């Protein structure tokens, strides 16, 4: 499943604001197979 162009642009804009620790934490949660939620704010 391909990401929509709008979602791709949003990800490109926000990614630089994540720290290495943020990304490691997200990767750990995702790979744990535990349920998690993702909040996205569009302005």
Average pLDDT per 10 consecutive residues for the chain, totaling 43 residues: 77 81 86 82 74
**What pTM, to 2 d.p., does this model score?**
0.48
**What Å distances lie between residue 10 and 5, 18, 34, CA to CA?**
9, 13, 25
Side-chain half-sphere exposure of 3, counting CA atoms within 13 A: 8
Indicate whether 38 belongs to any domain. no
- Integer Cα distance of 38 and 3 in angstroms: 15
H helix or E strand, kind and range, residue 31? helix 20-31
Indicate whether 39 belongs to any domain. no
Q: What pLDDT shows up at residue 1?
A: 57
Number of domains in the chain: 1
Query: Domain residues for 11?
Result: 1-32
């Amino acid at each position: 499943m391909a990401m929509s162009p709008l979602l791709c642009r949003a990800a490109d804009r926000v990614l630089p604001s994540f720290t290495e620790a943020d990304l490691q934490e997200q990767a750990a949660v995702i790979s744990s197979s535990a349920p998690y939620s993702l909040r996205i704010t569009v302005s």
